[in-house]
Every structure is written in structure tokens, then in C-alpha cells.
Amino acid sequence: MGKKQKKVVVLPCSGIGKVYGALARETTYELMERVRPDEVVTTCLPLLVIKDPEAVALVLENPVITIDGCPKDCAKKSVQALGKEPDKTYEAIKFYTSHKDLKPEGVAEVNDTGRKLAAVAAAEVAQEVDKLAAGEEQ
């Protein structure tokens, strides 16, 4: 009998003012496109702000990981505003403080070093994705 896994929703920071927002997005895209393409999906954070029914349902019905780019924690708080605690939260700056040889630069998009750091970060986040996906087996 086959088991159906739920998707894991990864929500990055929306910011265009700081490098760690861009790093959060790059990490999310790395997960979606290369590391866990069958498990990870995202949605636009502003859709949660306007309470778009499809986006809200996606977040409420699946495990959620947030990756924030600054201490204002918009991604985490946007999920909490829906009455749900994210299953796992990350601060993108900690990816850098754990890998100081990979200093990201850029604001709207990260540079090559930032892309390398995002690949490392995505591999770390993927371990959590796997746990959440397995825990949500039906």
C-alpha cells in the first residue's frame, strides 16, 4: 500500500534590503529546484498577508519551515498570524555564522559565494524537510 506524503512548505523572507533576505530565498529555491524538488513547495508571503484562501490552506494543511532574513521575523510571524506555529524556524544569518568562509553579498540576489552558502544551507534544511515529510505520512 502506498503512502502519501504531504508537501513541506518553505517560506523565505520577502526583503529586498538585506543580503540575508536574498540568502533565505536562494536557499528556498535551491531546495525546491535541486535538493528536494518533490517535497518542497513555497508560496508568496504577501499572499498570506492578504489571506489568499489557497495560500492559507497550503500553510495550514502542511508542515511549514520559515527562513527569516532579519530579526523582524516576517515569515515566522506571518504564519503565526494564521494561528499556526511553524514546525521549524531558521534565521538566514546563522547559515553564515556557521560557515564563515562563505560570506554572501548582494541584496536582491546573492553572489556566487552566496549561492554556495545557500547550497550548504539547503542541504542542512533538507534534513528537517525529510523529518517533517516522514512525520506527515498518511
Q: Which of residues 100-129 bind other proteins (CB under 8 A)?
A: 107-109
Least Å distance, CB 78 to other proteins, is 5
Chain center to CA of 8: 9
- For the chain, the farthest-separated pair of C-alpha atoms sits apart, in whole angstroms, at 49
Pairing of strands 88-91, 64-68: parallel
Q: Please choose, from the candidates 124, 122, 91, 125, the residue with its C-alpha nearest in 3D space to the C-alpha of residue 19.
A: 91
Residue choice 61, 72, 84, 85 for contact with other proteins (CB under 8 A)? 72
Least Å distance, CB 19 to other proteins, is 12
Least Å distance, CB 132 to other proteins, is 19
CB atoms within 10 A of CB 52: 14
Helix (H) or strand (E) holding 21: helix 19-30
For other proteins, the closer of residues 51 and 94 by Cβ is 51
The residues of the shown chain that bind other proteins, judged by CB under 8 A, are 11-17, 21, 25-26, 28-29, 32-33, 42-50, 52, 72-75, 77-78, 81, 107-109
